[in-house]
Amino acid sequence: MACAASTEPGGQFDLDAPWQLDAQVRVRPEAFGALLYHFGTRQLSFLKSPALLAVVRSLGAQPSARAACTAAGVQAEDLMRYAHALQTLAASRMICQRGTV
């Protein structure tokens, strides 16, 4: 299992942990955001905004998901919505915590 961290759909997303895109996931940018495909689970996900794409892309290079959000220009009042979107991605194994691979 590549992703073993908290992955319940309704669970609390750990914004302060270091996250990354799963190694089996590929990203295709689109006008609305992006398409994500996981070659292991054969699942497709959609990122519904370019800003969320920017966050997801920078996850691996930032010390935490919170830092990735800040770097992508996410405002403090929007942070929980992004955390919720990231939790959905974690639940479908699109992203996982670094160090759990």
Q: Which is nearer to another protein, 27 or 67 (CB)?
A: 27
Q: Which residues contact 77 (CB under 8 A, 6 or more apart)?
A: none
How many angstroms separate the CA atoms of 74 and 63, rounded?
16
Binding-site member from 11, 40, 63, 73 for another protein (CB under 8 A): 40
DSSP state of 16: T
Three-class SS of residue 36?
Answer: strand
When asked if residue 91 is in the footprint of another protein (CB under 8 A), the reply is: no
User: Minimum distance between the CB of residue 57 and another protein, rounded to whole angstroms?
Assistant: 15
Site residues (vs another protein, CB under 8 A): 26, 28-32, 35, 37, 39-40, 42, 44, 46, 48-49, 51-52, 78, 81-82, 85
